[in-house]
């Protein structure tokens, strides 16, 4: 009887051991066949954030431009160490690469032969970056230099200020602005698509990186002191300022939001980011302003190769503006929100409002 109990106990132990072994073996085989989660971007090198786009990304207006982009060999991309990409805070990211170029259209961000100030495609430059960087975030700001031709519109509005008896620039723009923005959307979509294509060719999958398309902030707005609606600061008519800060910027943002949706990019709306911090809004005290006023570099007028760029910084985010945008972008990247808007927050900062 005692021997029987011993035999029965041994049999039970053997069965348990067999079951455990089978479970371990089955689990191991199962894990081999199941895709394992990736540990971030592929390749080697530091985790990196890359910025592509035009002047609002390069750092135009923020000063201290790198010598190679401040007119050397005709390169006026005006990349600044004060640009928001240099100040954004992302856990684990230790490298920052700014490929943006002042005046760049979508075609120069995309793959292809378009260049800007002698620089080749930004997407093609990104293909070189991923060879020795692990890109975890890509931020793109582009579109205003396509059909909307924002710089040209600012010049038109500036000219309207001189012609007091004639209609403001907004009268004609109200008729054409929406169609200009509509024509811009597929060009931005193609550029963002090419950026994604470059990363896919390098072995990236969408889960490896964050892709953000951002819109534009209003550089000027209503409420400017009358004495600054002049060559002393912001020479624009009041009705033009109302239009720029209202339908003008909101229509442009809506078009870029559409491009983000079509490409699967996250969207950060900056339309209201400059509210109460626009150029000339501070009156006699410019400390609260995040955008440059009418800026003329007199020294540049004495050099033929620089004279045509003497006004280039005007009505762009300054260093304080870029720092504020960087704070909002940092907050947005820390969330899983598909869209957000940069809005005024406590402490003279910008907060990322979900779904904005």
Both tokens of residue 65? 């431009």
Domains and CATH numbers, the chain: 40-354 (3.40.50.1110)
Supply the pLDDT for residue 1. 43
- Dig out the tokens for 179 from the structure: 């169609």
Active site residues: 55, 316
User: Strand 210-214's sheet: what is its strand order?
Assistant: 95-98, 47-53, 134-141, 210-214, 266-269, 339-345, 349-354
Residue-wise burial string across 3-30, b where 16 or more C-beta atoms lie within 10 A, e elsewhere: eeeeeeeeeeeeeeeeeeeeeeeeeeee
* DSSP string over 288-326: G--B--S---GGGGGSHHHHTTTTTTTTSB-HHHHHHHH
One pLDDT digit (tens) per residue for the chain, 356 residues: 444 443 334 433 343 343 334 333 334 333 344 544 556 799 899 999 999 999 999 999 999 999 999 999 999 999 999 999 999 999 999 999 999 999 999 999 999 999 999 999 999 999 999 999 999 999 999 999 999 998 888 889 988 998 866 889 999 999 999 999 999 999 999 999 999 999 999 999 999 999 999 999 999 999 899 999 999 999 999 999 999 999 999 999 999 999 999 999 999 999 999 999 999 999 999 999 999 999 988 677 777 778 777 788 999 999 999 999 999 999 999 999 999 999 998 888 999 999 97
Cβ-contact 328, 273 below 8 angstroms: yes
Q: Are 250 and 176 in contact (CB under 8 A)?
A: no
Q: Decide if 309 contacts 76 (C-beta within 8 A).
A: yes
What pLDDT is stored for residue 150 in this prediction? Answer: 86
**Residue bearing tokens 């910008």:** 350
How many other C-beta atoms lie within 10 A of the C-beta of residue 1?
Answer: 4
pTM: 0.88
**3-state SS, residue 182:** helix
């Amino acid at each position: 009887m005692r021997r029987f109990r011993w035999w029965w106990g041994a049999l039970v132990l053997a069965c348990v051991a067999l079951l455990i072994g089978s479970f371990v073996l089955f689990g191991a085989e199962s894990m081999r066949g199941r895709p394992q989660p990736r540990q971030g971007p592929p390749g080697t090198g530091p985790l990196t954030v890359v910025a592509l786009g035009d002047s609002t990304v390069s750092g135009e207006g923020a000063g201290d431009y790198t010598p190679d982009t401040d007119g050397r060999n005709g390169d006026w991309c005006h990349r600044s160490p004060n640009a928001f990409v240099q100040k954004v805070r992302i856990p684990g990211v230790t490298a920052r690469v700014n490929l943006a170029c002042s005046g760049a259209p979508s075609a120069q961000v995309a793959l292809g032969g378009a260049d800007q100030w002698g620089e080749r495609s930004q997407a093609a430059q990104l293909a070189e970056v991923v060879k020795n960087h692990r890109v975890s975030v890509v931020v793109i700001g582009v579109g205003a230099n396509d059909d909307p031709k924002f710089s040209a519109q600012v010049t038109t509005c500036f000219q309207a200020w001189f012609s007091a008896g004639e209609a403001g620039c907004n009268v004609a723009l109200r008729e054409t602005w929406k169609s200009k923005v509509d024509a811009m959307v597929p060009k931005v979509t193609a550029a963002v698509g090419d950026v994604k294509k470059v990363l896919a060719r390098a072995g990236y999958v969408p889960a490896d990186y964050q892709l953000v398309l951002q819109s534009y902030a209003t550089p000027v707005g209503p409420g400017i002191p009358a004495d600054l609606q002049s060559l002393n600061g912001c020479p624009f008519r009041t009705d033009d300022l109302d239009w720029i800060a209202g339908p003008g910027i909101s229509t442009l943002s809506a078009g870029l939001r559409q491009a983000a949706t079509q490409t699967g990019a996250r969207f950060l709306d900056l339309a209201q980011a400059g509210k109460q911090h626009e150029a000339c809004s501070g009156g006699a005290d410019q400390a609260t302003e995040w955008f440059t006023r009418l800026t003329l570099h007199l020294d540049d007028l004495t050099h033929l190769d620089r004279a045509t760029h003497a006004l280039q910084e005007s009505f762009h985010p300054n260093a304080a503006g870029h720092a504020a945008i960087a704070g909002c972008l940092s907050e947005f990247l820390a969330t899983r929100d598909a869209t957000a808007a940069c809005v005024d927050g406590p402490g003279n900062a910008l907060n990322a409002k979900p779904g904005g």
